[in-house]
Structure 1
Amino acid sequence: MSEVAPIPFSQLTTLRVGAAPERMVEARTREELVSALRDVWSDDDEWMVLGGGSNLLVGDEPFPGTVIRILTSGFQLVDGAREGFVRLRVEAGQNWDELVAYAVAHGLAGIEAMSGIPGTTGAAPIQNVGAYGQEIVQTLVEVELIDEATGEISTVPAADLGLGPRTSVLKRHYGSAPEREAVILSLTLELESVGTGPRPLHDARLRGALGVADGAEVSLSWIREHVLAIRAAKGMVLDDPDPDTHSAGSFFQNPILPEAVARTLPPECPRWPVEPDLDPVVVIPLAAYDGALPPIVSSRTDVKVPAAWLIEHAGIEKGFRLPRSRAGVSTKHALALTNRGGATGGEVGELARFIQSRVAAEFGIVLQPEPVLVGVEL
């Protein structure tokens, strides 16, 4: 662990905005990371951890506390996998796309559709990252956590993380604290060993995105190559000369609405049903059981709608900017807010608030931000 001269967030985040914090510490090993966290917690200072900075909007005033940069890296094979599968334990600071590239090169399936997602591996479970039908919840076995309240390290099964659509018990949603204040030290994935040759692509969503016919066979490397091309076309693969990639990815969450609310939207608005719990568990005390089962009350059906559609149909076009602002909507993707060159955190926040107000006025829906906001209010 080493304390370093604070580096501005504008140099450490993909949005390229944000002032330098008051204090900064770098942790390059698991032991250094544990020590740094316990030290800052014992001093009761404000703190935050920083990985790849790809899902973060930081304001223009210095963060009044300690930033711990997680620079751990590496992964290794571990025991316990099912037959035909391989388990990898990955350090939290490991670059995510480098991990995906390794898996694809070694014929390990389960994360290839998430190629090109920026950031570090430790951030993946926090918001259950996913793309084109794959999510981290499908391959995650467990995470190693250190809890702020106790400073203790524990191994937590994936089932106990509350993984849902871009959420978990560890995620700091805008306006609320996470259910569990903890930092991921490492995680374990279980990937299917399928080899590097072509095989049937069963996922319908991925087939549709890649233009693959039902029954066609493709390799993991072919999937990775084409996913990277699709993401690049949307400005979602980091490329320094392209300001469309100076973003935090999708800035707003796709709203999940009650079906009755979704019916008030224009019929041409795309929507996807969110599957309800069709097999609820009913517990009846033995002493109260009379031979009859109570009727099962079906839960309501929720619907997910695309935030990008709402934004564009509220009059916000790709490339939109407010007057004199250096922040703008991506020219390739209406859901990405970008730094067009020299923008401040305040300018990005101003653009986000304007988009929120337009969508709320047009459709009565308040879009919620996807990135973690530090020193910025919407």
Structure 2
Amino acid sequence: MTPAVQVALKLASSKTGRKVIGGVLLLLLGLVVLFVVCFGSFFAVLMGLSLNGDLYYPLINSTRITEPYDPDRVIIHEYEVEVEKTRPVLDEEGNPVLDEDGEVVTETYTETEIRREEIESPHWGVDFEVREGSYVVACAGGVVKRVYHDDEEGNVVEIEHADAKNTTRYLHLENVLVSVGQDVILGQPLGKVGLSGECTPYRESETNVHLEVLDASGEAIDPAGVLKPWGQYLDIPTELVKEVAGAEWQDWMVSEIEGDIVWNGEAYMWPVPGHTRISSPFGSREMDGEQESHSGIDIPAPAGTPIYAAAPGVVSTNAHWSYGICVKVSVDGQTTNVYGHMLARAEGITDGVQVEAGQLIGYVGSTGNSTGNHLHFQVNVNGHAVDPMPYFG
């Protein structure tokens, strides 16, 4: 008989011992129940995100639809044709030249004419504004039903979402990272955006992704009406894409500004070089028919556009939820600059870090209380928002 069994029998022989054994067993049972509940909750959340019927955007760096769902779409195709025509030959005085029989002498010439042709081209999905090198991700969890390539649709991935009772189709991919029969989870990369197939008939196409959503009966529905923004779940696809992209992760977010950025020590630097339009200025503005006070300026730019510190300071990431992913830079004891609605912060931009003017701090996005990709830039002086424009000199 082992020592452990002997101790257990000795404890069981007394009333106090039996209470101790009972207490230990209850404690172990409680720990088991707690583990099961916690694991079950986590699993339920993961499954809920993947299979509860919600569909999220197929890109983590764009929500802007450039070509909407339109089953009745008609494309106007304009093209040039060379038409051969005749005209009278004129003399130096501008009079028609006559031949020996008194007939007007003519000459042939070629003229370019522009003609228009209406072409029925139903659009059964939506196209998104994207940046080259971006990854297309699964709108929800499911099973890959088909993977194929044809001349019109290019590289295609089709995913069946059993619990959601629908199917999503991703067209014109540059490459494909999944296979038929494979289980995919919400936000899993399916391939890069591309131009395979015929993206848009008779138009000069840019890199894009075309998404279609089919209901339980196999009929196409408007994806714009069912897609949800990533919001608080943005980290899910971001981490999955990072894992697949590896060293290429920031390729689609690389700055196009050449040379070093140098602060002059006085006026603020513009935080989004190359994008100077302000879509909403500081001060009073009308939103949804009501007047409100806008505490900063909005600078629209494509998702993933680099954001640079307008002035040096110390970073804080603590901000109101409405700013989404945000960076606050304390310039001095009174002045703080706020950069809101970011897609992501740049590597190394964490609380307490000192940044220099012109240092990369993040990327334009539409997180938080936002209706489109832009940077909300705000200047607070002693806790009160002031007009940022004078700070740029």
- Bin the TM-score by the shorter chain: under 0.3
Larger helix proportion, structure 1 or 2? 1
Structure with the greater alpha carbon radius of gyration: 2
Higher RCO (C-alpha under 8 Å, 6+ residues apart): 1
TM-score (norm 2): 0.25
Larger strand proportion, structure 1 or 2? 2
TM-score (norm 1): 0.25
